[in-house]
Amino acid sequence: MKDIAAAGAGAIVAIDLAMSHGGGQQVFLDFLRAAKRSGQTVTAMVAAGGWLDKSLSGYASNVSVPAPGRKRSGLVWRGVRFLLFFKTLVKHRALLRGAKEIVVSDPELFLPAALLGSICELRITLYLHMAYRGLAARVLRLAAGLSSVVRLICVSRFVESHVLKFLPQHAARKLALVENAVSESLEDMSERPILGDMSRVAVIGRLIPEKGQDVVCSLSHLLPDTRFYVIGSFDDADANFVETLRKQSASNVSLTGYQSPITDYLRQHRIGIVLVPSRITEACPLVPIEAAAAGCAVIVRNLGGLAEVAENSGLMTVDTDEEFLRAIRSIQNESRRILESNIQAASRRAVSYYHPMRFEQAIQRVFGWP
């Protein structure tokens, strides 16, 4: 326990016990990078064997802890996880007590961390990176109202406006906006985007119905000369949904599995168009930002945080599944000169608005770091 306590002494302790890789975990890494570059000592508490546990090299010292029951769903299991996570935080209270700041990005840890913070007089920051509905919204409302929670960081204006609808007034005053950033490796891509093959279309995201990848089932039959790449991990996929994609898609569809870094895959396979057909209100969609920065023509559904990214980056939006077909055809029928001009403009806008330095400056301002 002495070694663990020493790891937290005067440090920023960041906590996320998610096992898989999503937008929230990427933002978590971006925060750790910004803290380290600002001269802060950083310790991360992450799930043993999870994506973050394997990806923290060079970002922070890490304390790996079990994340029981993450693959189980349902109200009962949420209650069980609450108790188990609270117990985990109590077990590592020596680490937390010595921390200068505690930043929590895992929604299921919001309330356990806020409660422990109230008991042990800790300073808690909650990192908000999704749309919170139903029980999740009620839990956030309760946690945010506790005095131990000193700030609530929103990753987009959409998230900010969303949580303002249900947070009590005294909690709403804790809100701070720190918008997402592209990966450092994409900073200079806007100066040299490579125009891909517009007959190659990628759809990227977790393989679940809410993400809308089944739009390719009809598109693949209507566009037989176009190659579709459905990119997403099979580990946390909906098995029935994957089977639907396999059975109902034409032979010009490839299910590629998880690819990382995604921008390298897009360039290596000369992907020209990226679709983001999500049917849920995405809060911090990094895929369209990074695809635009990498030089792809990007088409997103006009919904939630996707609409916000499209406005900030100059991307094409559609409202229905049927409009994806018209949007793809309009791009494929456009002249190469106009395409190159439009894609370069969107790439520059995406990198400029979501530049890593802009993100780091916002983090420094919110936390009061020099």
217: CATH: 3.40.50.2000
Identify the CA nearest to 90 among candidates 126, 67, 115, 69.
115
Q: Are residues 156 and 305 in the same domain?
A: no
Q: Are residues 32 and 140 in the same domain?
A: yes
Number of structural domains in the chain: 2
Q: Are residues 152 and 104 in the same domain?
A: yes
Q: Are residues 121 and 214 in the same domain?
A: no
Q: Are residues 169 and 309 in the same domain?
A: no
The packing angle between helices 23-37 and 286-293, to 10°, is 70
198: pLDDT confidence band, cut at 50, 70 and 90?
A: very high
pLDDT of 52 > 90? The answer is no
- Give the pLDDT confidence score for residue 7 in this predicted structure: 47
d(CA 127, CA 284): 12
Q: Are residues 214 and 189 in the same domain?
A: yes
pLDDT of 3 > 50? The answer is no
Segment 230-234 shows an average pLDDT of 91
Residue 236's CB is within 10 A of a number of other CB atoms, namely 16
C-alpha separations of 298 from 63, 129, 269, 288 in Å: 38, 22, 16, 6
Q: Are residues 72 and 190 in the same domain?
A: no
DSSP state of 334: S
Identify the CA nearest to 355 among candidates 149, 168, 191, 175.
191
pLDDT of 150 > 50? The answer is yes
Segment 167-191 shows an average pLDDT of 80
Segment 80-88 shows an average pLDDT of 79
pLDDT of 367 > 70? The answer is yes
Q: Percent of the chain at pLDDT above 70? A: 91
- Give the pLDDT confidence score for residue 4 in this predicted structure: 45
pLDDT of 231 > 60? The answer is yes
Segment 323-341 shows an average pLDDT of 94
Q: Are residues 22 and 66 in the same domain?
A: yes
d(CA 25, CA 178): 15
Q: Are residues 119 and 149 in the same domain?
A: yes
Q: Are residues 308 and 320 in the same domain?
A: yes
Segment 196-223 shows an average pLDDT of 95
**Rounded to an integer, what is the distance from CA 43 to the centroid of its chain?**
21
- Give the pLDDT confidence score for residue 37 in this predicted structure: 87
C-alpha separations of 167 from 17, 112, 146, 304 in Å: 24, 18, 12, 19
Beta strands per DSSP E along 66-179: 101-104, 124-128, 149-154, 175-177
pLDDT of 9 > 60? The answer is no
Q: Are residues 359 and 348 in the same domain?
A: no
Q: Percent of the chain at pLDDT above 90? A: 55
- Residue-averaged pLDDT of the chain: 88
34 contacts: CB under 8 Å, gap ≥ 6: 359, 360, 363, 364
Q: Are residues 328 and 241 in the same domain?
A: yes
- Give the pLDDT confidence score for residue 8 in this predicted structure: 47
Domain of 148 in residue numbering reads as: 2-181+355-367
